[in-house]
Structure 1
Amino acid sequence: MPSSNPIGLTSGQVQSFIDDGFVRIDNAFSTDLARQCRDELWAEIGLSPSEPETWVRPVIRVASKSSRPFVDVANTPQLVKAYDQLVGEGRWRAPMGLGTFPIRFPSPDAPGDDGWHVDMSFGDSPDFMEWRANVKSSGRALLMLFLFSDVGPNDAPTRIRKGSHAVIARELLPHGERGATLRQLSADGYASTEGCEEELATGAAGTVFLCHPFVVHAAQPHRGKEPRFMAQPPLLPRGEFDPALPPSPVQIAIRRACGLTFPEVGTPG
């Protein structure tokens, strides 16, 4: 469900996040900031918007950017309010930049990175397939999609499986604190979420999708005409979820999916 309300999300939009696993915020940052960020990214990859003959690769990745425009984009009043509403006041770290940036170009070639997946939250293995996520979502408060260019259905929008966060929560529950590896979660190609309705992360430059950390999502080939500029950073938590505090919508979605009860505020659980 989209939002463009500068004072934050409505109760209906928060409920949509709990039920569907994401909420879309239109005009989360200005078109001028989007242009400044695109200009920096063009310079970073050494290509030009006026030379399409040089766009020979389907995707180029930029790891991170921490210059002022990117910090400003990630901390607009609309987004700060939404972070508070979905994660809880004082429970998240203000982004000091953004990343990663999968910049996708029109191409007949397969991008090679368009499989369904859940972003992992913690780990130190050089084998990324051994990185983990647990049912508490340790290390990640949100998955976020920042659109720096206009993204239509043909412009390689991220595919999102609505409600898949609930399926993944139930699958993570038996793994406890240690969690499951990406290899374990992806062993069957996320077949358990195949029945979920698919949503495309489309919108004008300045649109942001705030997603539950467990949402199953995927890239796709670019069939449009103009490159797609997007960042897909996490919102980092300040610490582990505190059971003494009221559960946030991120936690509520997990607990409902797992059939867990909600402890009273101030009691352990």
Structure 2
Amino acid sequence: MHDGIDIDAFIGDGYLKIGGAFPRELADAGREILWRDTGADPEDRTTWKRPVVRLGGYAQEPFRAAANTPRLHSAYDALAGEGGWAPIGGLGTFPVRFPSPDEPGDDGWHIDASFPGDDPADFMDARVNVASKGRALLMLFLFSDVGEDDAPTRIRVGSHLDVPPILAPAGEGGVAFMDLAGRAVPATEHRPLALATGRAGDVYLCHPFLVHAAQPHRGTEPKFMAQPPLLPAGPVREDSPVAAAIRRGLAG
């Protein structure tokens, strides 16, 4: 344990849930901003026309404050190493998920890419390497209450340990997003499933190699969640739990 952070659980499972990582009041203030940008009316369900509305680029005060609570700073230090992560100026993409009978179209299993390929504009060529260049953590910030029917992110527990052997032969250049998904998804089908449920203000801190997926929303209220990376200050620190998990995966 490190300041209440279960390092062994993170290395073995690939994620930790930090309950009450930021105040609910910040989540409420953030949702007010996000609702305006969805083009939908929270009081008029007839305006909830699409299963997912993807918003991005949020650095207003509620988002900056949510990402920078003392509890989260301590957790970043514990998992990425003190001095091993870059300051966070805000939260990135919000895929706002609405209750809908329609498929969202973005719910495939995958690992988030961490650095661009030869063409920075080609998202499908974005890459991941065994050193986790460009990403110290995958983070899930809940800005609304998320139950089992509210499109919680699906997580394959321990799947991050299956990924380093896939990445290692590719060296520093890494593997492209789509190629990695095509190999890592079948390699992790045996892993147990967890759902990233929780209350507004909870945060999931995940290993960069964790295989995860969205899912359709079958509940009643929209789901607001940010999914920013924690950027490393340089190469991922060798003495961090993130690197320890990579070594465990390589060792089998």
Q: Same fold (TM over 0.5)?
A: yes
Which residue number corresponds to residue 267 of structure 1?
none
Which residue number corresponds to residue 236 of structure 1?
231
Q: How many Å apart are 1:189 and its aligned residue?
A: 6.8
- Code of the residue aligned with 1:238 in structure 2: it is A
Q: Is 2:174 the partner of 1:179?
A: yes
- Code of the residue aligned with 2:215 in structure 1: it is Q
Which of 104, 108, 111 is residue 118 of structure 1 equivalent to?
111
Q: Within 2, Cα distance between the matches of 1:187 and 1:257?
A: 19
- Code of the residue aligned with 2:244 in structure 1: it is I
* Identical-residue share of aligned pairs (%): 54
Q: TM-score, normalised by structure 2?
A: 0.96
Q: How many Å apart are 1:256 and its aligned residue?
A: 1.2
Which residue number corresponds to residue 255 of structure 1?
247
What is the aligned-residue RMSD (CA, Å)?
A: 1.5
**Are residues 195 and 74 of structure 1, via their aligned partners in 2, closer, same or farther at CA, if it must alter by over 3 Å?**
same
What SS does the corresponding residue of 1:173 show, helix, strand or coil?
Answer: helix
Which residue number corresponds to residue 266 of structure 1?
none
Q: Flag structure 1 segments of 5+ consecutive residues without an equivalent.
A: 261-269
Q: Within 1, Cα distance between the matches of 2:225 and 2:54?
A: 10
Q: 1:159-195 CA deviation, whole Å, 9 max, x = no partner? A: 0000100101121111111111112212257100000
Q: Is 2:185 the partner of 1:190?
A: yes
Q: Is 2:208 the partner of 1:213?
A: yes
Q: How many Å apart are 1:240 and its aligned residue?
A: 1.2
Q: Within 1, Cα distance between the matches of 2:237 and 2:10?
A: 21
- Code of the residue aligned with 2:101 in structure 1: it is P
Aligned length: 250
What SS does the corresponding residue of 1:60 show, helix, strand or coil?
Answer: strand
**Are residues 219 and 242 of structure 1, via their aligned partners in 2, closer, same or farther at CA, if it must alter by over 3 Å?**
closer
- Code of the residue aligned with 2:242 in structure 1: it is V
1:59-74 to structure 2, matched below 5 A, reads 59-74=52-67
**Are residues 53 and 85 of structure 1, via their aligned partners in 2, closer, same or farther at CA, if it must alter by over 3 Å?**
same
Q: Within 1, Cα distance between the matches of 2:48 and 2:93?
A: 19
182-191 vs 72-81, which moves further: 182-191
Which residue number corresponds to residue 164 of structure 1?
159
* Larger RCO, structure (CA 8 Å, separation 6 or more): 2
Q: Flag structure 2 segments of 5+ consecutive residues without an equivalent.
A: none
- Code of the residue aligned with 2:195 in structure 1: it is L
Which residue number corresponds to residue 72 of structure 2?
79
**Are residues 231 and 216 of structure 1, via their aligned partners in 2, closer, same or farther at CA, if it must alter by over 3 Å?**
same
What SS does the corresponding residue of 1:222 show, helix, strand or coil?
Answer: coil
- Code of the residue aligned with 1:74 in structure 2: it is A
Q: 1:99-131 CA deviation, whole Å, 9 max, x = no partner? A: 110000000000000000000000152221111
Which of 72, 88, 102 is residue 95 of structure 1 equivalent to?
88
- Code of the residue aligned with 2:73 in structure 1: it is V
Q: How many Å apart are 1:241 and its aligned residue?
A: 3.0
**Are residues 115 and 189 of structure 1, via their aligned partners in 2, closer, same or farther at CA, if it must alter by over 3 Å?**
farther
Q: 1:75-101 CA deviation, whole Å, 9 max, x = no partner? A: 001100000000000110121010110
Which residue number corresponds to residue 263 of structure 1?
none
Judge conservation of contact 1:8–1:78 (CA < 8 Å) in 2. no
- Code of the residue aligned with 1:180 in structure 2: it is V
Which of 28, 46, 54 is residue 35 of structure 1 equivalent to?
28
Which residue number corresponds to residue 264 of structure 1?
none
Which residue number corresponds to residue 144 of structure 2?
149
Which residue number corresponds to residue 9 of structure 2?
16
Judge conservation of contact 2:81–2:237 (CA < 8 Å) in 1. no
Q: Within 2, Cα distance between the matches of 1:28 and 1:40?
A: 20
